[in-house]
Amino acid sequence: MLSSKKKSEIALYCYAAVGAMFAGMHNPNLRGAKFTWAKFPAMMERHCRECVATNVDMPDHIVEACRDHAAKTAREIAEYWVSEMTK
């Protein structure tokens, strides 16, 4: 089980990562031809799952739990921002 401090550290990383990509994807020159906003949450879920361990300090025995939490958090953030943007 992850501590609330570790969950907060992961959430902070996810907000930064998703926010940077969200801003970047608004520039059509920075996204590929196959990009859609519908794909953005899954893209962020994969990205944060893979990158959280290099951006948040964690012991080896909780790496998978941290990756799972990052993936869930990133998807939630991305889904919310995309839904708000498309209202």
Q: Name the band, by pLDDT with cuts 50, 70 and 90, for residue 67.
A: very high
* pLDDT at residue number 40: 98
Nearest to 55 by CA among 1, 16, 2: 16
Measured distance CA(28)–CA(53) in Å, rounded: 30
CA dist 70 and 40 (Å) reads 15
pLDDT at 1: 87
pLDDT band at 54 (very low <50, low <70, confident <90, very high): very high
Mean of pLDDT values over 32-41: 96
- Residue 87 confidence class, pLDDT cut points 50, 70, 90: confident
Q: How many CB atoms lie within 10 A of CB 85?
A: 11
pTM for this predicted structure: 0.94
**CA 27, 46, 69, 63 torsion-angle sign:** negative
